[in-house]
Protein backbone atom coordinates (compact mmCIF):
# COMPACT_ATOMS: atom_id res chain seq x y z
CA UNK A 1 0.00 0.00 0.00
CA UNK A 2 2.79 2.47 0.74
CA UNK A 3 4.33 1.99 -2.71
CA UNK A 4 0.95 2.53 -4.37
CA UNK A 5 0.36 5.68 -2.34
CA UNK A 6 3.80 7.04 -3.26
CA UNK A 7 3.38 6.22 -6.97
CA UNK A 8 -0.10 7.73 -7.19
CA UNK A 9 0.41 10.78 -5.00
CA UNK A 10 3.45 11.89 -7.03
CA UNK A 11 1.92 11.15 -10.44
CA UNK A 12 0.79 14.67 -11.26
CA UNK A 13 4.29 16.10 -10.84
CA UNK A 14 5.52 13.40 -13.26
CA UNK A 15 3.04 14.56 -15.92
CA UNK A 16 0.49 11.78 -15.52
CA UNK A 17 -3.03 13.02 -16.27
CA UNK A 18 -5.17 9.90 -15.62
CA UNK A 19 -4.94 6.34 -14.35
CA UNK A 20 -6.28 3.18 -15.96
CA UNK A 21 -6.47 0.58 -13.21
CA UNK A 22 -7.39 -3.07 -13.73
CA UNK A 23 -8.64 -5.22 -10.89
CA UNK A 24 -10.45 -8.50 -10.47
CA UNK A 25 -12.78 -10.03 -7.92
CA UNK A 26 -13.31 -7.54 -5.05
CA UNK A 27 -11.53 -4.92 -7.20
CA UNK A 28 -10.15 -2.65 -4.48
CA UNK A 29 -7.26 -1.16 -6.47
CA UNK A 30 -9.14 1.49 -8.53
CA UNK A 31 -10.73 2.88 -5.37
CA UNK A 32 -7.43 2.86 -3.53
CA UNK A 33 -5.79 4.75 -6.39
CA UNK A 34 -8.68 7.25 -6.48
CA UNK A 35 -8.33 7.85 -2.76
CA UNK A 36 -4.74 9.06 -3.23
CA UNK A 37 -5.30 11.47 -6.15
CA UNK A 38 -7.61 14.03 -7.67
CA UNK A 39 -6.64 12.87 -11.17
CA UNK A 40 -9.22 10.86 -13.14
CA UNK A 41 -9.21 7.12 -12.41
CA UNK A 42 -10.66 4.64 -14.89
CA UNK A 43 -11.39 1.21 -13.45
CA UNK A 44 -11.19 -1.88 -15.65
CA UNK A 45 -12.94 -4.87 -14.11
CA UNK A 46 -11.05 -8.03 -14.99
CA UNK A 47 -12.67 -11.37 -15.67
CA UNK A 48 -11.70 -13.64 -12.81
CA UNK A 49 -13.19 -16.03 -10.31
CA UNK A 50 -16.50 -17.80 -10.46
CA UNK A 51 -18.45 -14.63 -11.26
CA UNK A 52 -16.35 -13.97 -14.39
CA UNK A 53 -15.73 -10.32 -13.58
CA UNK A 54 -19.24 -9.30 -12.52
CA UNK A 55 -18.04 -8.93 -8.91
CA UNK A 56 -15.24 -6.64 -10.07
CA UNK A 57 -17.61 -4.62 -12.25
CA UNK A 58 -20.02 -4.06 -9.38
CA UNK A 59 -17.23 -3.27 -6.91
CA UNK A 60 -15.69 -0.62 -9.18
CA UNK A 61 -18.95 1.01 -10.25
CA UNK A 62 -20.12 1.30 -6.60
CA UNK A 63 -17.39 3.65 -5.37
CA UNK A 64 -18.54 5.91 -2.52
CA UNK A 65 -19.77 9.40 -3.26
CA UNK A 66 -16.88 11.84 -3.45
CA UNK A 67 -14.30 9.34 -4.76
CA UNK A 68 -15.37 8.83 -8.38
CA UNK A 69 -13.97 6.04 -10.53
CA UNK A 70 -15.04 5.81 -14.16
CA UNK A 71 -15.77 2.23 -15.14
CA UNK A 72 -15.53 0.45 -18.48
CA UNK A 73 -16.62 -3.04 -19.53
CA UNK A 74 -15.20 -6.24 -18.10
CA UNK A 75 -11.78 -6.69 -19.76
CA UNK A 76 -12.31 -3.29 -21.41
CA UNK A 77 -8.73 -2.05 -21.06
CA UNK A 78 -8.67 -0.70 -24.62
CA UNK A 79 -11.66 1.55 -23.96
CA UNK A 80 -10.13 2.52 -20.62
CA UNK A 81 -6.98 3.62 -22.40
CA UNK A 82 -8.94 5.49 -25.05
CA UNK A 83 -10.96 7.26 -22.36
CA UNK A 84 -7.70 8.33 -20.72
CA UNK A 85 -6.51 9.66 -24.09
CA UNK A 86 -9.76 11.62 -24.46
CA UNK A 87 -9.28 13.13 -21.01
CA UNK A 88 -5.73 14.16 -21.88
CA UNK A 89 -6.80 15.45 -25.29
CA UNK A 90 -9.17 17.93 -23.65
CA UNK A 91 -6.13 20.05 -22.71
CA UNK A 92 -3.53 18.89 -25.24
CA UNK A 93 -4.12 19.97 -28.85
CA UNK A 94 -1.45 17.65 -30.28
CA UNK A 95 -2.96 14.66 -28.50
CA UNK A 96 -6.45 15.69 -29.63
CA UNK A 97 -5.25 15.78 -33.23
CA UNK A 98 -3.74 12.29 -32.94
CA UNK A 99 -6.87 10.94 -31.31
CA UNK A 100 -9.07 12.44 -34.02
CA UNK A 101 -6.89 10.79 -36.69
CA UNK A 102 -7.16 7.48 -34.80
CA UNK A 103 -10.97 7.72 -34.78
CA UNK A 104 -11.09 8.65 -38.47
CA UNK A 105 -8.84 5.70 -39.29
CA UNK A 106 -11.13 3.38 -37.32
CA UNK A 107 -14.15 4.63 -39.26
CA UNK A 108 -12.33 4.16 -42.57
CA UNK A 109 -11.41 0.59 -41.64
CA UNK A 110 -15.06 -0.19 -40.89
CA UNK A 111 -16.13 1.24 -44.24
CA UNK A 112 -13.47 -0.81 -46.05
CA UNK A 113 -14.61 -3.99 -44.29
CA UNK A 114 -18.20 -3.20 -45.23
CA UNK A 115 -17.21 -2.69 -48.86
CA UNK A 116 -15.46 -6.08 -48.94
CA UNK A 117 -18.49 -7.72 -47.35
CA UNK A 118 -20.85 -6.14 -49.87
CA UNK A 119 -18.65 -7.37 -52.74
CA UNK A 120 -18.63 -10.88 -51.27
CA UNK A 121 -22.42 -10.89 -50.87
CA UNK A 122 -22.96 -9.70 -54.46
CA UNK A 123 -20.75 -12.50 -55.78
CA UNK A 124 -22.83 -15.23 -54.10
27 in the same domain as 78: yes
What is the rounded distance in angstroms from the CA atom of residue 113 to the CA atom of residue 60? 35
| pTM, 2 dp | 0.87
- Give the domain CATH number at 74: 3.40.50.1970
- Tell me the per-residue pLDDT of 55-94, one tens digit each, with 9 for 90 and over: 999 999 998 899 999 999 999 999 999 999 999 999 999 9
What is the rounded distance in angstroms from the CA atom of residue 57 to the CA atom of residue 45? 5
43 in the same domain as 27: yes
Number of structural domains (the chain) is 2
Find the domain containing 123 and state its range: 93-124
41 in the same domain as 69: yes
Amino acid sequence: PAAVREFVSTAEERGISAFVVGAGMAAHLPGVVASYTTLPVIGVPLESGSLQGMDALLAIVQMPSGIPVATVAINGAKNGALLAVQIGAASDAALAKKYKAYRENMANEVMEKNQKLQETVKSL
